[in-house]
A and B are shown apart, each in its own frame.
Chain A
């Protein structure tokens, strides 16, 4: 468990970070929480020549809700901050349910949401959650900032569309137009295990009617799966058991799981279906109680 030799830099400004990444010419990696990068380096699966530690950057550890209702998560906001967030628990149920399910308490203390998105592990929970919420990232490079929808951000397993000298400074969830509802369920064999399968559901409702729906799946494909067909059947309709069943079935169809030691492809599809159904049913139960 000894990494290859590497150069380590810990600059104090974002501009220096970007310059270092630029000079690194594609052989540099950004270190935020390090919960994926460091194990990969210790196993020598990754051997970057340069590690740029961004933990000295000031002002990136925030998460906040803007007046318009959009949620902003800075590049150094830890999972644990989101887990304990009062803001999320009142404003964003899908994120609030996912946060305590990220890995284990030790990982949550150091790991970051933005780092998780950038790492683009198909089994990463946040990618599914942010995809379901229609979120985007803000990337900064030498030419300034640009926004990239998370749906387009991940280009494959462990791959994203960032240029080698770009860094994501924050992730953003757009403002909702209705009442938010939803949730995140996953099966893990043990706390801290990668998900056997997971389903993120994000809804915006007006009364009984779904204004917007997002459904995304964890661990059942080469990258996070945006189950757009499944979400589409919900839009403009009330959550009857028929509608829920239809959405759950389509989510299972969207999944592209592979059989492995966590379970068969068939089982994982079944889980995806079950989780979507359970989250949506729970939403209707909450509605009924409110009524």
Chain B
């Protein structure tokens, strides 16, 4: 007799199962792009522009060709001859693969050398002589929008200025009216500095074009291999079935590995021309100065407030700096991503957002760095505006949030900019957070410390964010609708293989997906292999970013498991010699309703699918499922930080961090907690130390890890994690996205805490990062410190 299983024991839902991936990662047995070695493989190095903006007078590659071991030198001219000098971006713009007319940012790809080894390839790059004619450099929107600014994108017909787009959303008239009725208008100007996802593994590819079979295989660092296959088919005009994209183990992505970069394209052409595999491994500086950055947005924000603290309307005006090419990775309907998800957790009747995007002579990108398309900026702006408004009103910052939250009984709720949220317990999350941090006690302690000259502060950040694009009605990338799929094949001995179109890059899909199957079918998670990343074997999917995998691909895993279960039920009925209607399910087994001890295990059903199927039933036990989510998922996060600021040096230390996350039902709590801690660390990094800036000549400051800082274990604060569970009403297992919540909500908590510590000094804002010298400047000069950290050039 078979028995129902203990779900935790088989590694199902709620089990903090150890990550399957880690077995190979911690033993150094992962298979990353640079681990792959193919016979006869050549190596590619890229020559990058030292100038930010310059016309290319000439490129002399003759000395590079003369170096023994150099097999190919590619320039923009050669790419142009094959119609490959430019490629489409993910935002309906174009981007240079290799510069032909001029370079538009420091680090832009100018030529590449393919040689027997990377040393020779690098020697080849050094031997190329490029004659540049310098042009005026533009490093911020103010310069870009000046009337006499040179047109950066003179390659585009009808482009006569540096505006990439103008876009708006919301009810302008209603908002204007509400502002007229306001008791108080709270205004603030903010800048979210340029940051970089900086996965530990940089980008790379190995293109392998086989002349004999006409098949192109590309091993590459992509978070979305199926999109790459489609793009290569369309851009390079190769038949899609002759293209195989393989993403091996990825050493992090964080949005950086969503776009298609020039290096990939060059390696493909180089392989076609040399008929040998060509490997390109990007170095750290190449990654930091040329690949997709995040943020770089300025805000003019205004809140219309009633005397009692109720927010009547919100007005946001953003100016975003996209660099030389508008290459944001985002759903095509929305020019500034999901910026208009701001204020989704607050009940506000009117809102208007106007967004202007500009070109500058800086690297392109605008990728969703660990966020659902500009949601990080949206929620940071929101929570800084909220704190400023509470301060302007003289209200307690927790109370101000509480009276403006959407109530638990008010779902579904239309957000100020028109999204539909479906669930949440916002006030409860805040209460859990305040209780955990000891809010009232801390306020007293802060007061006491002030009297002794010590500066303590507390910062709160609360937000709900839209994770898990699509639905397909509203979300597409370059016209490809955003849904996902899964394919499950159960072998005769009850073991199984699951494949999805998502692409793990640290999220632990191998572990988590197996847990969903275990939950649905009662197969032990250890009995399930999970595979992703090979477009020849994995079913179609839009890839992993924007916290969309559990909401979309994870849902597909549930649905495909249910399809398999439906078939297994038929097999069970056959084995038990009863009709299907008389069969019940408990975890891992079917049984006869009237005789619970008469049952068969899911494994017995699997064996029957290959050895004892009923007449008329198709053999085998497998299925596939496409999942188009009805809505986004809306997790909620409440992040509270306490800090102490050294009034003499401006150095601030984090005292405590409390995080309350409501991401619905947790599949693997340990992995969820890891995601939250990682997200908080990135939040801390951006608030405290991280930025990429440019000097007046357009030189990138932040081109290596000495300048672009990744916090280590030494400075990373400790985290206290709490949870509230409000299941997602439409997700098959009630889960919501979570991978990015803490990165999105965290930064404002740290900044709000430092600003709170400075309360009474007249300082209302310090833009990120809150480096000690900026805090010192605010403290001593008693003024706000705004904009990107300057690259000072005195004496």
Chain A residues packing against B (C-beta within 8 Å): 1-5, 43-44, 104, 187, 189-194, 196, 258-265, 267, 270-271, 274
Tell whether, in the assembled complex, residue A267 and residue B776 are in contact, meaning their CB atoms are under 8 Å apart. Answer: yes
Tell whether, in the assembled complex, residue B711 and residue A259 are in contact, meaning their CB atoms are under 8 Å apart. Answer: no
B719 in the interface, Cβ–Cβ < 8 Å? no
Q: Mark B622-662, 1 if CB is under 8 A from A, else 0.
A: 00000000000000000000000000111100000000000
Tell whether, in the assembled complex, residue A261 and residue B701 are in contact, meaning their CB atoms are under 8 Å apart. Answer: yes
Given A4-B123, A187-B651, A261-B707, A267:B777 Cβ within 8 A: yes
Bound CA span A104–B795, Å: 31
Most buried by B among A190, A259, A264: A190
Tell whether, in the assembled complex, residue B709 and residue A261 are in contact, meaning their CB atoms are under 8 Å apart. Answer: no
Bound CA span A263–B795, Å: 14
* B689 CB contacts on chain A under 8 angstroms: 189-190
Residue of A nearest to B120 (CB): A2
Tell whether, in the assembled complex, residue A104 and residue B712 are in contact, meaning their CB atoms are under 8 Å apart. Answer: yes
Interface segment, one of B132-140, B759-767, B785-793: B785-793
Residue in B707, B772, B792 whose beta carbon sits within 8 Å of that of A259 in the complex:
B792
B307 in the interface, Cβ–Cβ < 8 Å? no
B782 in the interface, Cβ–Cβ < 8 Å? no
* B119 CB contacts on chain A under 8 angstroms: 2-3, 5
Residue of A nearest to B711 (CB): A190
A-B contact count (CB 8 A): 78
Can you give 12 A-B contacts (C-beta < 8 A)? Answer: A1-B284, A187-B649, A187-B772, A190-B711, A258-B792, A259-B794, A260-B792, A263-B772, A263-B773, A264-B773, A267-B776, A270-B649
Given A267-B773, A271-B649, A191:B701 Cβ within 8 A: no
* A260 CB contacts on chain B under 8 angstroms: 791-792
Q: How far is the CB of A121 from chain B (nearest CB, A)?
A: 12
Q: How large is the interface on B (under 10, 10 to 19, 20 to 34, 35 or more residues)?
A: 35 or more
* A44 CB contacts on chain B under 8 angstroms: 122, 126
Tell whether, in the assembled complex, residue B776 and residue A270 are in contact, meaning their CB atoms are under 8 Å apart. Answer: yes
B182 in the interface, Cβ–Cβ < 8 Å? no
B283 in the interface, Cβ–Cβ < 8 Å? yes
Q: How far is the CB of B221 from chain A (nearest CB, A)?
A: 17
Q: Is the interface of B mostly helix, strand, loop or mixed?
A: loop
Tell whether, in the assembled complex, residue B649 and residue A191 are in contact, meaning their CB atoms are under 8 Å apart. Answer: no
Q: How far is the CB of B202 from chain A (nearest CB, A)?
A: 10
Q: How far is the CB of B456 from chain A (nearest CB, A)?
A: 20
* B709 CB contacts on chain A under 8 angstroms: 189-190, 193
Bound CA span A5–B117, Å: 12
Bound CA span A190–B708, Å: 10
Tell whether, in the assembled complex, residue B794 and residue A265 are in contact, meaning their CB atoms are under 8 Å apart. Answer: yes
* A4 CB contacts on chain B under 8 angstroms: 123, 126
Bound CA span A263–B794, Å: 12
Residue in B648, B712, B791 whose beta carbon sits within 8 Å of that of A191 in the complex:
B712
Bound CA span A270–B773, Å: 10
Tell whether, in the assembled complex, residue A261 and residue B706 are in contact, meaning their CB atoms are under 8 Å apart. Answer: no
Residue of A nearest to B769 (CB): A189
Tell whether, in the assembled complex, residue B773 and residue A2 are in contact, meaning their CB atoms are under 8 Å apart. Answer: no
Residue of A nearest to B122 (CB): A2
* B122 CB contacts on chain A under 8 angstroms: 2, 44
* A43 CB contacts on chain B under 8 angstroms: 285
Residue of B nearest to A193 (CB): B709
Most buried by A among B45, B650, B790, B792: B792
Given A4-B123, A265-B794, A265-B795, A274:B773 Cβ within 8 A: no
